[in-house]
C-alpha cells in the first residue's frame, strides 16, 4: 500500500543538518506515525513521503521554506527580566511559551545580562536545510476517528 491522503504511515528516520550532524534519530521502538494529509508534518517531508510504499528507503532534503521556515531576526529580542514574573533563575537554553502577533511561539533564552534577557522566538531548525534518511515501515488505511480528528491516536509525531 502506498502513502496517500487519509492513510497512516509508520516511518523511521534520521534527521541531519548540512554538516552531517545527527539532529534526531527515531528510536527503534518509537517510529514516527502520522496521518498523511492531516497537516501535522512539515510540508516538504510529507511531499517526499507521498506515493512511497512499505519497505521504501530513501534520502530527501527539505529546504527551510518547506520545513520550519526562514529565520526571522525580529524574533530575537532583548526583554526585561520582569517579563519572567515568577521565575527565580533564568539560564540560557530555558524555554517559555509566549504570545506574539502571529500567535504563540516557544522562545529560548539565549543570554542573561542582569535585567536584560535575550530571547529567540525562532524554531531551533528555522532557516536550516534538513536532510532525512527515511524508511517506510508500514502504511494502512486511517480509521474514521483518525480522519475526523486529523491525527493518529496517541502516537508520537516528532518530525512535525
Per-residue pLDDT of the chain (160 residues; tens, 9 = 90+): 999 999 999 999 999 999 999 999 999 999 999 999 999 999 999 999 999 999 999 999 999 999 999 999 999 999 999 999 899 899 999 999 988 888 888 999 999 999 999 999 999 999 999 999 999 999 999 999 999 998 897 554 445 4
Q: Give the integer Cα–Cα distance in Å for 108 and 75.
A: 10
Give the domains, in start order, of the chain with CATH numbers.
7-68+125-149 (3.10.50.40), 73-120 (2.40.10.330)
Exposure class string for 58-84: b at 16+ Cβ within 10 A, else e: eebebebebbbeeeeeebeeeeeeeeb
Report CA 16 to chain centroid distance, whole Å.
13
Q: How far apart are CA 63 and CA 156, in angstroms?
A: 23
Instruction: Say if pTM beats, i.e. exceeds, 0.95.
Output: no
Amino acid at each position: 500500500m502506498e502513502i496517500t491522503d487519509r492513510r497512516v504511515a509508520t516511518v523511521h528516520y534520521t534527521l541531519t543538518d548540512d554538516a552531517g550532524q545527527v539532529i534526531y534519530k527515531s528510536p527503534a521502538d518509537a517510529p514516527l506515525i502520522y496521518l498523511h494529509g492531516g497537516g501535522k508534518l512539515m510540508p516538504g517531508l510529507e511531499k517526499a513521503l507521498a506515493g512511497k510504499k512499505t519497505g521504501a528507503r530513501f534520502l530527501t532534503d527539505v529546504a527551510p521554506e518547506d520545513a520550519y521556515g526562514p529565520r526571522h531576526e525580529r524574533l530575537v529580542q532583548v526583554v526585561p527580566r520582569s517579563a519572567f514574573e515568577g521565575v527565580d533563575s533564568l539560564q540560557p537554553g530555558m524555554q517559555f511559551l509566549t504570545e506574539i502577533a502571529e500567535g504563540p511561539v516557544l522562545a529560548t533564552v539565549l543570554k542573561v545580562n542582569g535585567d536584560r534577557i535575550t530571547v529567540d522566538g525562532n524554531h531551533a531548525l528555522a532557516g536550516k536545510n534538513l536532510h532525512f534518511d527515511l524508511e517506510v515501515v508500514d502504511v494502512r488505511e486511517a480509521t474514521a476517528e483518525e480522519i475526523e480528528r486529523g491525527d493518529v491516536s496517541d502516537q508520537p509525531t516528532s518530525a512535525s
